[in-house]
Structure 1
């Protein structure tokens, strides 16, 4: 069990594992931008088009939790911000495979992504989550504070209803 940075080459080699991870989380109800129907091919497309395509600029960091030789958790740090926001980054796609949840993996990934941000000299982290989602207590326990809630922000993955979104932040300095 370890947390490792995933390079573009690592993601390419582990694209099936990462696609399975994302697909399993979405099917388990994670509100991470996708709605039903959601096929494994959609998950692979995400990793190829939204992650691999952005790895060259060094502004997107992907961390993976390795267990049993597989990636069963991941989180992204996106530092692609405007010039007046170069001090901050967004925490994105905090994923732990449903079969591995409630084991401290999410907490460890959040601590690791925070350390990466500190190492990059960043002083502010932001994220958003569906209000009331099971990730929200993790973010609060990791020291994130609520900046605000926007009602009706995003479509529920399973139903044609719109859920509120909670925006959160953490000062690192």
Structure 2
């Protein structure tokens, strides 16, 4: 398994493959902002829209490749304001159902954390569905639970769920 950073052109070129991953995640019940069943065309359009943010330096995306097939992603959303240049939001950590149980989520998380530290980011934050399997991953990787917001977002089935906020302080490695 190789983890590689995707630039804007690669996000556009791989939009259909990345859409397959997103559809699998959402239709499998993961709460990443979409309702099930997710239309592959909608998923591909969403990935294509990310290319502009990547080109502008506001989004960094890594993909885990099994051969040439993306089976996982993670992103860092970078703020555009001077007073928040020290932080980033971890977004869309996703692992295809067929690739779970092999430590890929932790590998992707580590790649994003290391890249953030190398870029001078000293604070990461994220939100995830409360009581989801992802909470174990973040807690085990040293993230600090900041609190829960009830009824924050609908899960893929349309049921309102809480979200748990996490943060992690990083040491600069540049």
Same fold (TM over 0.5): yes
How far apart are 1:110 and its partner, in Å? 0.4
Deviations 1:41-60 (A, max 9, x none): 111111012x1121221121
User: What is the CA–CA distance in structure 2 between the aligned matches of 1:108 and 1:151, rounded to whole Å?
Assistant: 29
What CA deviation, in whole Å up to 9, does each residue of 1:3-35 have, x standing for no partner? 101011212221111000011000011100111
Structure 2 CA distance, aligned partners of 1:78 and 1:156? 22
Choose from 141, 152, 169 the match for 2:167.
169
Name structure 2 gaps, 5 residues minimum. Answer: none
Partner of 1:4: 4
Distance in structure 1 (CA, Å) of the matches to 2:94 and 2:110: 14
- Where does structure 1 differ by over 4 angstroms across 4 or more consecutive aligned residues? none
Matching of residue 154 in structure 1 with residue 166 in structure 2: no
Which residue is equivalent to 2:27? Answer: 27
- The offset of 1:36, in angstroms, is 2.6
- Residue in structure 2 matched with residue 42 of structure 1 by the alignment: 42
In the alignment, is the contact (CA less than 8 A) between 1:81 and 1:88 conserved in 2?
Answer: no
Q: 1:60 corresponds to which residue?
A: 59
Deviates more, 1:67-76 or 1:8-17: 8-17
RMSD: 1.1
Distance in 1 (CA, whole Å) between partners of 2:5 and 2:170 is 21
Counterpart check, 1:98 vs 2:94: no
Q: For residues 78-114 of structure 1, what are the alpha-carbon distances to aligned partners after superposition, in whole Å with 9 as ceiling and x for unaligned?
A: 1124321110000000011111011111000000000
For the residues of structure 2 that align with 1:13 and 1:48, how far apart are their CA atoms? 9
TM-score normalized with structure 2 length: 0.94
